[in-house]
Amino acid sequence: MAVLEIKKYPDKVLMQKASLVEEFDGRLQKLIDDMIETMYAAPGVGLAANQVGIPKQVAVIDVSTEEQKLPLITLINPVLVHFEGETENEEGCLSFPGYYTIVQRHEKVVVRALDRNCNQIEIEGSGLLSRALQHEIDHLNGVLLIDRIGRLKRDFFKKRFQKERKRQQVNL
């Protein structure tokens, strides 16, 4: 297993819709294992394959806490099949290090996908799991965290991002 490089905004692979997984082979299993190791090393609660430069419909999620251990989830070709309610909460993203913002999401969701062994699964989630499922599926569809916020917040983020980027280039 290996810790992979997490792509950062504005890398183009993050804005690309990932293609469906059609082959369940050793390369896919290695990618999943490497993504899991990368997610834990980051640390994060979810990671989509395009965040590590692979535009394939693969995501891993682990919303376990000290108090509540939950199983690691691997999603291949996930589809949101049901949702209800709305909630707002703060969200961050490994591809936007240090940036957190309030994002509106569905309160409860049902996702249908394949697991790493090509078995169909259906996951119902609320709370943090619902948020993580939606966030990672967004990544696989080329939708970024900043695409889920209002125009003014997005413009402010982009200006701040450009300013920070220029400052870093001057310091090199």
| Domain ranges for the chain | 12-171
Quick one: pLDDT band at residue 172, thresholds 50, 70, 90?
low
The answer to whether residue 82 scores a pLDDT higher than 90 is: yes
- Whether 82 and 165 have beta carbons less than 8 Å apart is answered as no
Q: HSE-up of 73 (CA within 13 Å, CB side)?
A: 30
Mean pLDDT of the 22-27 span: 96
Instruction: Calculate the average pLDDT of the chain.
Output: 94
Q: Which residues are catalytic?
A: 136
Sign of torsion over alpha carbons 44, 48, 49, 52: negative
d(CA 171, CA 14): 26
pLDDT digits (tens, 9 = 90+) for 120-169: 999 999 999 999 999 999 999 999 999 998 888 888 888 887 888 777 77
Tally helices (H) and strands (E) across the chain. Answer: 3, 5
Architecture of domain 12-171: Alpha-Beta Complex (3.90)
d(CA 4, CA 109): 29
Order across the sheet with 58-61: list the strands. 46-48, 58-61, 73-92, 100-114, 120-126
CB 83 within 8 A of CB 48: no
Q: Is the peptide bond before 71 cis (omega within 30 degrees of 0)?
A: no
Cis peptide before 78 (omega within 30 of 0): no
